[in-house]
Structure 1
Amino acid sequence: MHPIYRPLRSHELLDLSVPDDSLHVLHGSGRNNQLAIPSRWISVWLPLSEGIELETPDCHWLLRAGELLVWRDGALRAGSRRDGRWLAVCGSPAAWARHQRPRPGDPAVDLLPSESRCTRELRRLTVRLARVARRPDLCPLGVDAVVDMLCAALTEHQRDLHALLPRCTGRTLLRRQQTLMRLLRVQHLIRRHDDGRVDLAQLAASANYSPCHLIRSYRDVFGETPSEYAARLRSERAWQLVRETRMPVCEITAALGFESQSAFCRAFKSTFGLTTSQVRQDSCHSRLRAA
């Protein structure tokens, strides 16, 4: 069954909750459009301009232009309030499985949920797929061949994630994949909380683990605990806000969930060895030298 091209324009709502075995190639444009993806479907998202607002029962976030999301968890709602363009390829696991052909000697590993910067190759293939799905006569190879190339590029893009599978618990590859997907769900929830505050009980519940089992499993796979990962993300965001924006330190303190500005400044200097004033002064000098 060939992929189905479906444009989604301003003020349109598309609900794909009726199950089928087709891949859907979606081209969103304009503003105030919405799309509903059923649970357990695999979807690939690429904002071309502006961003896509994504929502699950657990959280809400913005996927920015230039980022790539592979989603395969709960039901997902997407839309754009601003006048932008985006592409998505979505379908059931069975629809994707027809196009996933591992290289000789490699195990048959499914696509895993991930969020990262989109490479030039993945952007090129996703845009090409949208064009060919809309006009199959433009590609002598056929639409299915372009989907095959996109799947191969996505699998290669996720090679670092696949390398984590031997660290996961489970006697079979399928069980280890399930374990990794649970931990990636936890990691996604941590990333979505910019203030660095994590509720360990809530994270454990999302993975159907006890808190102790979550800490142990997460550390075995990623080399750090969920709390350590959250603290690292908060430190990275603090550096980015101090160095690359003019946001007042008091507002950064509130945005990152610190109790007071003095507590934030002490933590910042302890982590980076510099005060916020020194970092901003150095950033200002760097911009002047570049100018």
Structure 2
Amino acid sequence: MRIEYERLANGGRLDLGGGDGAGASSLLRVVVGAGRGCVMQGTAPAAMVLVPLRGRLQLAEGDNLHTLLPGELLVVEQGQRVQAIGRGAALWVALGCGSGAWRRCAGADMPSDPVLLPALHPASRALRSTVIELARVASHGNAATLALANFVAAMTELQAGFEPFIERCPGRTASQRRSVFLRLQRVRNVMAANCHLDLDIAGFARMASYSPCHFIRTFSSVFGETPHAVLVEQRLRRAHRLINASALAITEVARVSGFEDRCAFARSFKRRFGITASGLREQGRAAA
């Protein structure tokens, strides 16, 4: 297994290349961005895990736009076009792990490609410490076997939460069920990144290669919620985040989170979080 390490300082740039994947299967690529305006872009030749440690990481993943904060982790699938930009005094780590390198650490019972499913996960303090240790070992050119094994174990545990959903997917084999789940998971990722936009079921169905009726039925069967319910949940989470992290007026928060009706937003927010939007803001100000 080959290990490549790169550190980007203020204004540094890294081109991931065209994404042909040559040699990527056995490669662990560790990129550390430290400082303002560091840019990593290109087509991911292997699955990538992006972990902000300080500040904000602005990420374009295909047509999806994310602003990642410490405590979050994003998995980008192989072949996806990405552009990651550190904002302010940002510190972040990107780990590109080929399927061969991943399986060597995880064992022979790993599923077929993709070994990592695209998703936004919470990143605990312990997981971030694991990522820092892996980057530290790689920066010194040392064998990262133990650090990588610890990281793989942490990611495997995170993604184990998908297994019940995969089991509910249609398909006669595990590979077929996993393939169906990947299509549905891509839709969920679009919902999370673009929930503030005017999205429709027909577009989601095309993305998952289903008819609208078949898509609603399959999605609801797998996740136990309708696509509309998941979309509303993503909008409420976005609003919760904006109330805590921005100075936008509550009315503006509702609008930029995809709610056209302020009253409907107020009712949904209180029902979901047990507190009004204005109450949450006052709570945050009191704690500051």
**TM bucket, shorter chain:** 0.7 to 0.9
> Are the counterparts in 2 of residues 196 and 234 from structure 1 also a CA contact under 8 Å?
no
Larger C-alpha radius of gyration, 1 or 2?
1
Structure 2 equivalent of residue 112 of structure 1: 117
> Are the counterparts in 1 of residues 16 and 44 from structure 2 also a CA contact under 8 Å?
no
- Deviates further, 204-213 or 218-227: 204-213
Structure 1 equivalent of residue 252 of structure 2: 251
> Are the counterparts in 2 of residues 52 and 62 from structure 1 also a CA contact under 8 Å?
yes
> Are the counterparts in 2 of residues 46 and 87 from structure 1 also a CA contact under 8 Å?
yes
Task: For residues 190-245 of structure 1, give each alpha carbon's deviation from its aligned partner in whole angstroms, at most 9, with x where no partner exists.
Answer: 11124263222222222222222221111111111111111223344446656887
Partner AA of 1:9 in structure 2: A
Q: TM-score, normalised by structure 1?
A: 0.82
Structure 1 equivalent of residue 169 of structure 2: 168
> Are the counterparts in 2 of residues 8 and 29 from structure 1 also a CA contact under 8 Å?
yes
Shift of the 28–271 alpha-carbon distance from structure 1 to 2, 3 Å rule, reads: closer
Q: Does 1:129 align with 2:134?
A: yes
Shift of 1:71: 1.6
Shift of the 225–29 alpha-carbon distance from structure 1 to 2, 3 Å rule, reads: same
Shift of the 146–100 alpha-carbon distance from structure 1 to 2, 3 Å rule, reads: same
Structure 2 equivalent of residue 272 of structure 1: 270
CA-based RMSD: 3.0
Q: TM-score, normalised by structure 2?
A: 0.83
Shift of 1:113: 1.7
Partner AA of 2:174 in structure 1: L
> Are the counterparts in 1 of residues 58 and 85 from structure 2 also a CA contact under 8 Å?
yes
> Are the counterparts in 2 of residues 197 and 230 from structure 1 also a CA contact under 8 Å?
no
- Corresponding pairs, count: 278
- Deviates further, 68-77 or 34-43: 34-43
Distance 1:36 1:30 in 2: 16
Partner AA of 1:84 in structure 2: A
Partner AA of 2:65 in structure 1: H
Report SS of the residue matched to 2:231. helix
Task: For residues 40-95 of structure 1, give each alpha carbon's deviation from its aligned partner in whole angstroms, at most 9, with x where no partner exists.
Answer: 62111111111211113322221112211122152222122423111111033333
Distance 2:254 2:241 in 1: 13
Report SS of the residue matched to 1:157. helix
Report SS of the residue matched to 2:194. coil
Work out which of the residue numbers 85, 90, 93 in structure 1 matches 2:91. Answer: 85
Report SS of the residue matched to 1:53. strand
Report SS of the residue matched to 2:177. helix
Q: Does 1:95 align with 2:101?
A: yes
- The percent identity for this pair of structures is 31
Shift of 1:267: 4.8
Distance 2:221 2:279 in 1: 40
Shift of the 286–126 alpha-carbon distance from structure 1 to 2, 3 Å rule, reads: closer
For structure 2, list consecutive stretches of 5 or more residues without a partner in the other structure: none
Shift of 1:257: 3.5
Distance 1:128 1:188 in 2: 29
Structure 1 equivalent of residue 55 of structure 2: 50
> Are the counterparts in 1 of residues 103 and 110 from structure 2 also a CA contact under 8 Å?
no
- Deviates further, 218-227 or 246-255: 246-255
Structure 2 equivalent of residue 28 of structure 1: 33
Shift of the 11–211 alpha-carbon distance from structure 1 to 2, 3 Å rule, reads: same
Distance 2:238 2:68 in 1: 17
Report SS of the residue matched to 1:158. helix
Shift of the 256–36 alpha-carbon distance from structure 1 to 2, 3 Å rule, reads: closer
Report SS of the residue matched to 1:32. coil
Work out which of the residue numbers 76, 80, 85 in structure 1 matches 2:82. Answer: 76
Distance 2:117 2:159 in 1: 8
Structure 2 equivalent of residue 199 of structure 1: 200
Shift of the 266–152 alpha-carbon distance from structure 1 to 2, 3 Å rule, reads: closer
Shift of the 165–280 alpha-carbon distance from structure 1 to 2, 3 Å rule, reads: same
Alignment of 1:129-168 (within 5 A): 129-136=134-141, 142-168=143-169
- Deviates further, 189-198 or 41-50: 189-198
Structure 2 equivalent of residue 190 of structure 1: 191
